[in-house]
């Protein structure tokens, strides 16, 4: 089954109203031919945030126990920065006047996806920049990137999460930690190539930032977000996805006027025959 047919078929059922039981059963039968992969890290006291962020994820128990009515009831309050853990970068994060979280079109948050695996190189070089050559190598093997695809880059750094020392390159905190950040990212030249030579809908990767740890100008962010192309960071379990024939749904918390937020991202892949 070709990827285009696969995605079209999935879209047909996911985004049209089932009119009868037969359609519902057809959808169940189709989805049973694949698996959903959770690409999200849980939010907890272990969630990693940028070292100079003064706060992290906090969960406060407000109520937990048996009520006077004899039934159990629990309710919590949480607080968290927008950017940390598996999260979403809205275009306004680095581009004035661009889309906030609540204004990003839904069609930019779901669709056909591919995984470009650069882990062999990136795990040997913590400052590795994903290049145009890496993307072209993927295309040589798999064909030209599909139009309006979600591109996920696998660097292999997901295996280190939530070990800050290995994942960030440092476990120091505060502004003094920033010069010691070392992790791979996307070369700004590759970001520019993707937005001028290809049509991409969103990009994600398994590191803390689309820009590598030593970046001081965050140019990859600026290139992508200026064009209203959102970014997913700290994506989990990319090693469980194939190179193509993937369908991704990436829904951030809908924060009005937000520059980003916690993200629940999942991927559907067809079972191997």
Q: Considering the domain boundaries, does residue 266 fall inside one?
A: yes
The reply to whether 3 and 47 lie within a common domain is: no
> Is 114 a member of any domain?
yes
Per-residue CA distances from 173 to 52, 126, 157, 215 (Å): 6, 19, 20, 18
Do 170 and 190 lie in a common domain? yes
Is the same domain home to 170 and 200?
yes
End-to-end CA gap in the chain: 11
45 and 27 within one domain: no
Does residue 68 form part of some domain? no
Helix 3-14 vs helix 21-31: crossing angle, to nearest 10:
140
Q: Return the CATH number at 242.
A: 3.50.30.50
Same-domain check for residues 125 and 208: yes
My answer on whether 108 and 238 are in the same domain is yes
Q: How confident is the model at residue 19 (pLDDT cuts 50, 70, 90)?
A: low
Residue 271: per-residue pLDDT: 85
- Are residues 155 and 186 located together in one domain of the fold? yes
Question: What string of H, E and C letters represents the secondary structure of the chain?
Answer: CCHHHHHHHHHHHHCCCCCCHHHHHHHHHHHCCEEEEECCCCCCCCCCECCCCCCCCEEEEEEEEECCCCCEEEEEEEECCCCECCEEECHHHCCCCCCCHHHCCHHHCEEEEEEEECHHHHCCCCCCEECHHHHHHHHHHHCCCCCCEEEEEECCHHHHCCCHHHHHCCCCCCHHHHHHCCCCEECHHHHHHHHHHCCEEEEEECCCCCCCCCCCCCHHHHHHHHCCCCEEECCCCHHHCCCCCEEEEEEECCCCCCCEEEEEEEEEEECCC
Supply angle C-alpha 132, 118, 225, rounded to 5.
Answer: 55
Same domain, residue pair 26 and 89: no
pLDDT at 127 over 80: yes
Q: Is the pLDDT of residue 44 over 50?
A: yes
Distance CA 118, CA 21 (A): 44
Q: What is the pTM of this model?
A: 0.90
Q: Where residue 1 falls among pLDDT bands split at 50, 70, 90?
A: very low
User: What per-residue confidence (pLDDT) applies to 14?
Assistant: 53
- Tell me the percentage of the chain whose pLDDT exceeds 70: 89
Tell me whether residue 249 is in a domain: yes
Number of domains in the chain: 2
Q: Flag whether 66 is in a domain.
A: no
C-alpha R_g of the chain: 20
9 lies in the same domain as 113: no
Residue 267 has pLDDT above 60, yes or no: yes
Position 229 confidence tier, pLDDT thresholds 50, 70, 90: very high
* Closest alpha carbon to 88 in 228, 201, 239, 250: 250
User: Does residue 69 fall inside a structural domain?
Assistant: no
Confidence at residue 26, expressed as pLDDT on a 0 to 100 scale: 65
- Residues 255, 179, single domain; the answer is yes
Q: Is pLDDT at 6 greater than 70 in this prediction?
A: no
pLDDT above 50: residue 113: yes
Q: Domain check: are 48 and 164 in the same one?
A: yes
Q: Has residue 21 got a pLDDT over 80?
A: no
Question: In whole numbers, what is the pLDDT of the chain averaged over residues?
Answer: 92
| 256 is a domain residue | yes
pLDDT at residue 27 is higher than 80: no
Residue 64 falls within a domain, yes or no? no
Alpha-carbon distance of 212 to 77, in angstroms, equals: 33
Q: Which domain holds residue 132?
A: 38-54+82-270
Residues 114 and 143 in one domain: yes
């Amino acid at each position: 089954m070709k990827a285009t047919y696969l995605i079209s078929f999935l879209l047909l059922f996911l985004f049209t109203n089932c009119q009868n039981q037969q359609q519902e059963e057809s959808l169940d039968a189709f989805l049973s031919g694949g698996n959903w992969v959770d690409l999200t890290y849980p939010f907890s006291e272990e969630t990693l945030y940028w070292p100079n962020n003064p706060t992290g994820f906090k969960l406060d128990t407000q109520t937990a126990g048996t009520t006077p009515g004899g039934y159990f009831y629990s309710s919590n309050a949480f607080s968290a920065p927008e950017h940390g853990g598996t999260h979403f970068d809205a275009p306004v994060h680095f581009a004035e006047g661009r889309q906030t979280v609540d204004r990003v079109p839904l069609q930019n948050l779901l669709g056909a996806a591919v995984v470009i695996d650069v882990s062999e190189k990136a795990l040997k070089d913590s400052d590795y920049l994903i290049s145009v050559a890496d993307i072209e190598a993927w295309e040589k093997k798999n064909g030209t990137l599909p139009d309006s695809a979600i591109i996920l880059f696998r660097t292999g750094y997901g295996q280190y999460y939530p070990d800050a020392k290995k994942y960030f390159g440092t476990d120091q905190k505060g502004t003094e930690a920033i010069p010691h950040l070392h992790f791979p990212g996307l070369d700004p030249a590759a970001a520019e190539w993707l937005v001028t030579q290809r049509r991409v809908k969103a990009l994600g990767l398994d590191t803390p930032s689309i820009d590598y740890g030593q970046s001081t100008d965050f140019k990859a962010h600026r290139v992508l977000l200026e064009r209203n192309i959102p970014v997913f960071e700290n994506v989990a379990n990319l090693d469980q996805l194939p190179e193509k024939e993937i369908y991704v749904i990436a829904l951030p918390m809908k924060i009005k006027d937000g520059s980003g937020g916690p993200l629940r991202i999942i991927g559907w892949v067809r079972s191997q025959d």
